[in-house]
Structure 1
Amino acid sequence: MYAAVLRTPYALRTFGAALIGRLSYGTVSLSLMLAAKAATGSYAVAGTVMAVFGAASVFLSPLRARYIDRYGPRRALTPMALGYAALLAVLAAVTWRPGAPGALLVALALCAGAATPPLGPAMRTVWSQLLPDRRLLQRAYSLDGVAEELLFVSGPLIVGVLVLFAPPAFGVALSAGLVIVGTLAFVASPMVGAVVPADGERRKRARVVGRIKRPVLVTLGVGIALGAADLLVLAFAEDRGRADAAAWVLAALSAGSAVGGLVNGAVDWRRPARTRLTLLAFGLAAALGAAALAPGLLALAGAAACVGLFVAPALTTAYLLADEVVDPALRTQAGAWVNTAVNAGSSGGTAGVGLLVGHAPLPVCFLVAAAAPLLAGLFGVVQAPPAIEERGAGQSPVTRTPAVRPQSSSPSSSAE
């Protein structure tokens, strides 16, 4: 099953390298926030630093992905990673001791966010190149999504341990080291070298945004629901006098997402990806709506786990659908747009429900949050199918260029 994916030549080596680099994204946010607070003594500055860092990283992701499609992962990712790591190293040095100017931290954070290498979309492009069989590609995307979920859970835990023994700036420096090591190992893989960028004329003829409206809007709805759920869980726990229990409820959501992702990748679905994506959006909306009826924290944790069951499958299916309906010359950009949609939706959902909490009962807030994936799923019902015919789960894509295999040199093994 999943072993077949990892037995593919160079798959484990390439995937393991990408995960090392992507662990940096799990450690950098908390590290940077704590370091900025320690250096300036101001939560306002720390919040501003994180806001500009996150916005630049999320909203410029499709632009950075465009360079990967244009020049190939090796030529595009290497300078991005070097610049990003250098800026993080400067941030670590500036925040190592108190007294750093807030304006300088904001400027450095903005530049670092703008240079963030999109390792997730790049890895999914490599998966698409490596695995022309759609069933194996679905499993690879599911494995990728579950691993990413675990990275974003384990990253803050690592930072929490580090700050017991070192200044928070050490976590920023660690993030710089992880992204350099992971990215350089990733681009050194023979499979990454086999990803050849399309010529300029083909890129000009290809379109991205119009073809991926459905996966982008559905993942936007999923992101809004997730961002709202994070804040609503905290508000629910505080309302019961158990703010510390919020972490356990959110852990149940992550666990549900991991289980859902693994199950989704193991099943050979007969329905096309666009139909599955709509049904998954409806399922997520129903589970989040059911959380409005939770009488206590234990019931809320159960509802959160049910919400999670739909999260990773929805995101995986959105990536698959985006990959199906765009020209292979633009597949990295397509994945980056989906990734941007879920992250932007998460930020917007947190901000929006934050304005609602305190003015409406919590059950009503949960129902409002559930409306986002519900409306996104309804859009998928009424929207016309994309111009490019979707392939079935077991078919090779008719518009995809054949997978380029590396030369027959013996692959070097790499642990995940």
Structure 2
Amino acid sequence: MTTARLASVAHHRSCFVLAVLLLPGALRAFLPALIGRSALAMGGLALLLAVQDSTGSYTQAGFATAAFGIANVIAAPWRARAVDRFGQRTALTTMASSQAAAFIVLALTTATDGVAAIWFSVLSTVVGLTSPPLGAAMRMVWASLTTAGEQRTKAFSIDAICEDLLYVAGPVIVTAVIVATSPSIGLWVTATAVFLGTAGMTSSASSRALRGTGGRGARGDRPLRQPSFVRVLMVLLGVGCVLGVAEIAAPAVAAQHDAVAASGWLLAAFSGGSALGGFIYGQLNLKVGAGRRLFGLCVSMGLAAVVASQLDTLGLFAAGIALVGLFLTPSLITGYLIADAIVPETSQTEASTWINTSLNLGAALASAAAGIIIDRSGAWFALLLVGMIALVLASAVPFKQLRKLESRGDRTPDRCEQG
């Protein structure tokens, strides 16, 4: 391909990305949604540091952080179901107002002496229970603004990349705020972000248009009642397992090489690989169906984990862990696309949330097991084992159901498995 041709293709791709962002109503919803979503990226660290500063105990801070995380995961599907039923403006605004209030009460509590430690965990639980599903809601806005196929894939890719960047920048920002002021101020900043960001998003025309079903959706429309969707969640559980082990194995490998300071760089390589993968995926106009894409991505991630487990030097391991990360965001995007295709519109916010819940559950389970395996057999074995698990779970991709869906004509061909 000539240089001029390459330049033309690059220009076309960049224009396409810009065209997605400049769709009527897109930025008006997307930018405030990012501000609101930054609260989740900042909240965990702000909560941990504020409770630790108040109690002087990392144990109490750990309990509070765990209460926040567990409550957030457990309540996620029900919060998403409320958004599908009552509409984005009503449900998200109620949740964001409640979470902002809980953050503020927690901030006041951490700044007060003599508070019983149990209250920190109670308030952290409320913070987790009321977290608005802004990521899933924004993907529903993207779905309403874009056409199925390449345009929607690019929109979901842009969304996923920006979310990755939030989790890089969020902790840095809230740490800087806390260092300059106090830990309780970090909680105030987080409360402000979730409230103003959500209010900005839900006041946009594209979000207001998603009014919800009002309870009209049938029970059979629920995502978990779709057999093919449950199998997609099984595949993404394997992807989450790789994520969880990678985040534990990277510091372990750095310590093994007497280079603890390299832990951050190894994790950055993993995150950078994930963001790069999302960017590349968004630029491709793949003709193969989403089911086959998910299978290929999960298999590739499993194989990359196996390869990384065999790399001895720190430099090679960094490249290997970046390769593992390369398939993370594309797998997540493909999961969203399949959910968009196979789950009825009345339950799509819930479906998108289940995609994230499956990934996070896999990561949590794998993280818990990874420490034990690494202590006994080394990081290489943990990566090898989780790579094999991902390969096995990739076989759960519901090729047959997706082909039937296409043959009935219920969805457009590029939104489901082809052939």
How high is the TM-score relative to the length of structure 1?
0.91
Change (3 A) 1:368 1:201: same
Aligned counterpart for 1:238 among listed residues 235, 238, 255: 255
Structure 1: give runs of 5+ residues left out of the alignment: 396-416
Per the alignment, residue 218 of structure 1 pairs with 235
Residue 222 of structure 1 contacts residue 372 of structure 1 at CA under 8 Å; is this kept in 2?
no
Alpha-carbon distance in 2 for matches of 1:302, 1:348: 25
Deviation per CA, 1:149-201: give whole Å up to 9, x if none: 00011111112222321222211111100000100000000011111323534
Whether 1:71 aligns to 2:86 is yes
Change (3 A) 1:394 1:207: closer
Deviation per CA, 1:320-352: give whole Å up to 9, x if none: 101110101110010010011111211111111
More relative contact order in 1 or in 2 (CA 8 Å, sep 6+)?
A: 1
What number of residue pairs does the alignment pair up? 395
Per the alignment, residue 73 of structure 2 pairs with 58
Whether 1:164 aligns to 2:179 is yes
Per the alignment, residue 330 of structure 1 pairs with 347
Aligned counterpart for 2:414 among listed residues 385, 393, 398: 393
Aligned counterpart for 1:88 among listed residues 103, 112, 117: 103
Deviation per CA, 1:122-148: give whole Å up to 9, x if none: 101111111133221111101100000
Per the alignment, residue 407 of structure 1 pairs with none
Per the alignment, residue 106 of structure 1 pairs with 121
Higher helix share: 2
Per the alignment, residue 198 of structure 2 pairs with 183
Per the alignment, residue 292 of structure 1 pairs with 309
Per the alignment, residue 41 of structure 1 pairs with 56
Per the alignment, residue 221 of structure 2 pairs with 206
Q: Report the RMSD for the aligned CA atoms in angstroms.
A: 1.7
The structural deviation recorded for 1:259 is 1.0
Per the alignment, residue 146 of structure 1 pairs with 161
Residue 110 of structure 2 contacts residue 184 of structure 2 at CA under 8 Å; is this kept in 1?
yes
Deviation per CA, 1:224-255: give whole Å up to 9, x if none: 11111111111111111111101101111111
Aligned counterpart for 1:193 among listed residues 208, 231, 237: 208
Alpha-carbon distance in 2 for matches of 1:285, 1:230: 15
The structural deviation recorded for 1:361 is 2.7
The structural deviation recorded for 1:73 is 0.2
Aligned counterpart for 2:269 among listed residues 229, 241, 252: 252
Residue 31 of structure 1 contacts residue 168 of structure 1 at CA under 8 Å; is this kept in 2?
yes
Percentage identity across paired residues of the two chains: 35
2:273 alignment partner AA: G
Correspondence 1:354-369 to 2 at 5 A: 354-369=371-386
Change (3 A) 1:13 1:50: same
The structural deviation recorded for 1:41 is 1.3
1:334 alignment partner AA: A
Per the alignment, residue 12 of structure 2 pairs with none
